[in-house]
């Protein structure tokens, strides 16, 4: 569940980078208004625009799915009865903070954060398995 969330986040970021590259390419094109040259940028414009539209649509669908996955993960995290565990899992799996960052934020030792996270994930998996 949490691995899929992180993977989806990475895929969205990759697709957004590709979209940014295409848009930059589009805005950097010098399209002549006068006579067309045989290999003018206008020849590539329809393909570029089409690719941008396709990626935008794919990205929007992915973001919608990601939002649903993230909300589901948050709800599962907050089924735990330990507030400290909830905070640690939320920071790590929803906000993608490292254990080192979480230990600084929460004022806990790195090992303590890892232990709480590991134990909490085990509890969470048991809760999820019980509801299936």
Asked if 97 and 110 touch (Cβ cutoff 8 Å), the reply is no
pLDDT, tens digit, 9 for 90 and up, residues 90-109: 999 999 999 999 999 999 99
Q: Is the Cα torsion angle 124, 62, 87, 110 positive or negative in sign? A: positive
Of the residues 21, 54, 70, the one at which a domain ends: 70
Which of 3, 4, 5 is closest to 70 using CA atoms? 5
d(CA 42, CA 60): 27
Considering the domain architecture, whether residues 62 and 103 belong to the same structural domain is answered as no
Considering the domain architecture, whether residues 111 and 66 belong to the same structural domain is answered as no
Query: Is 38's pLDDT higher than 60?
Result: no
Considering the domain architecture, whether residues 83 and 56 belong to the same structural domain is answered as no
| Number of folded domains that form the chain | 2
The model carries a pTM of 0.77
Q: Which domain holds residue 130?
A: 78-132
């Amino acid at each position: 569940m949490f691995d899929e969330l992180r993977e989806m986040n990475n895929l969205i970021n990759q697709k957004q980078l590709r979209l940014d590259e295409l848009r930059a390419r589009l805005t950097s094109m010098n399209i002549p208004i006068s006579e067309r040259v045989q290999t003018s940028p206008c020849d590539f414009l329809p393909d570029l625009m089409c690719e941008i539209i396709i990626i935008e649509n794919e990205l929007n669908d992915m973001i919608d799915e990601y939002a649903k996955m993230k909300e589901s993960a948050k709800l599962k995290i907050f089924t735990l009865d330990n507030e400290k565990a909830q905070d640690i899992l939320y920071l790590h799996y929803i906000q993608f903070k490292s254990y080192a960052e979480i230990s600084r934020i929460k004022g806990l030792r790195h090992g303590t954060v890892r232990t709480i996270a590991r134990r909490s994930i085990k509890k969470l998996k048991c809760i999820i398995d019980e509801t299936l």
